[in-house]
Structures are given as C-alpha cells and as structure tokens.
Amino acid sequence: MAKTILITGANGNLGTAVVKKFLEEDYKVIGVDHSGNHLGFANNHPQFELHAVNLADEAASDTFAKEAISLYKQIDGALLLAGGFAMGDIAATDGEALRKMFTLNFETAYYLVRPLFQHMMENGYGRIVLVGARPALQPEAGKNLIGYALSKSLLVQLANLLNEAAKGKNVVVSVIAPSTIDTPANRADMPKADFESWVKPAEIAEVLEFICSGKSDPLRKSVYHLYGNA
C-alpha cells in the first residue's frame, strides 16, 4: 500500500518539487499551505489533496493533524518544510524580530510534530523531517542571521530530544540543512552568485524520498548537510 506523507510548505519553492517527486513515486500526499497556486500539476491527481492551515495556530494545526490521523489511520511521514528567512545581526534583532522567526520556523513545525510524533510512536513507524539551515550549524554563517539561526537550531535540538524518546522504535526525526537552495527568489536576490553551486529543490526531494522509503530504515542519522557544491 502507498505510504501516506504529509508535506507542509507544499506550495513553496522546495515544496512544489517535493510534492512532484512523491506523487511520481506513488505516495499518497497530504499537502498543507496557507494558499496554493503553484501546484496546478497536482490538482486532479487521485493521490493528492491540499489543505489550507495556518500552522502558526496551535489549535488549527492540532485539529488538522488529528483529523488526518483519524482519516488515514497511519501517517508514515511528515515533511515539515514551511518556514522562512530574515537577515539581522544582534543589533537588528529585537524581541519582535526574534518571535517572528521563532513562529515561522519553529512553531509551524512544533504544532504538527507534537500530535504526529505521538501517533508514529503508537504505530511503531514514522519519519519526520524538519528543515534546518547551515547558519544554525555554523556560527560563522549565522552571526548576521540571529533570529533565523536560533529558530532553525531549535529544530535540531527538537530532533535530538525526540530521537532519544524514540530509541528502540522505528520512528526517526531528521533535519535537513540545505545551504542556499536554487530558487527563483534567491536568483533574483543574488543575481551575481554562482547558481550552479546551489542545491536544487529536486535534489533535496530525492533525499527526502530516500528518508521516507524503506531503503533508509536502518538509518538513525538526525542531520543531513545538503550543501551541494557551496
């Protein structure tokens, strides 16, 4: 039977490539986003559905996750891609800027991880993937991105804590840490950069599919550095 995979940020630059890959590989895909207009290719696909959920809203996220669990009985994977970026060194990062990054990168994942991790522990199987970033792992890359780096590093710590809680079960929480992803937005922001060195959304989608496929079952690795040639 096809595995059921929940994908947030489904309409985003990375999300659209990931939805495409998982539908090609015959998974059942539950997409989540604020709104969607880049997923036309998936509109009438029998294995795809798209839900508009504000993932910063704890109650809405929890209700949505529990409805999906009740409907499908088993959610095999959750690829929690929703998130975003902001510049700012310590001088530029006040409480409001910090909370904004915390909500966008941490809360949008945490409110789904909470019910989904418990569900996967009960089922004895599951893969959750969170999206970190290089500045969360390398201080030299994060020193001028304080809110972004802090909020992404909390996801790494969350994965570590949950993997401890899941020891002995086939439930794994991984973090992918891409460097700059080759997206139209990044090309427009950095027109002089070497685009070829950037990791491609389709390459990340391959790694995510590997994590959700049976092929990765013995792996208990929590952080994947997806830096391409950068």
Ligand X SMILES: NC(=O)c1ccc[n+]([C@@H]2O[C@H](COP(=O)([O-])OP(=O)(O)OC[C@H]3O[C@@H](n4cnc5c(N)ncnc54)[C@H](OP(=O)(O)O)[C@@H]3O)[C@@H](O)[C@H]2O)c1
Residues that bind ligand X (CB under 6 A): 9, 11-15, 33-35, 54-56, 81-85, 104, 108, 131, 133, 178, 180-181, 183, 186
DSSP string, 137-170: H-HHHHTTBHHHHHHHHHHHHHHHHHHHHTTTSE
Task: Give the separation between CA 110 and CA 104, rounded to whole angstroms.
Answer: 10
Cβ-based neighbour number of residue 37 at 10 Å: 7
The residue with its CB nearest to ligand X is 12
At residue 186, φ and ψ (nearest 5 deg) are: -70, -35
Closer to ligand X by CB, 108 or 174: give it. 108
Residue from 207, 210, 105, 181 nearest 150 by CA:
105
Closer to ligand X by CB, 125 or 227: give it. 227
Closer to ligand X by CB, 54 or 144: give it. 54
Closer to ligand X by CB, 54 or 170: give it. 54
123: buried, middle or exposed (CB in 10 Å: 19+, 13-18, 0-12)?
middle
Computed on alpha carbons and rounded to an integer, the radius of gyration of the chain in Å comes to 17
Least distance in Å: CB of 169 to ligand X? 26
User: Cβ distance 151 to 56 under 8 Å?
Assistant: no
Least distance in Å: CB of 192 to ligand X? 16
Least distance in Å: CB of 111 to ligand X? 10
Least distance in Å: CB of 218 to ligand X? 27
Closer to ligand X by CB, 65 or 133: give it. 133
Burial 163-186 (b: 16+ CB within 10 A, else e): beebeeeebbbbbbbbbbbbbeeb
Least distance in Å: CB of 100 to ligand X? 11
Closer to ligand X by CB, 56 or 121: give it. 56
Least distance in Å: CB of 60 to ligand X? 9
Query: Quick one: how far is CA 195 from the chain centroid?
Result: 22
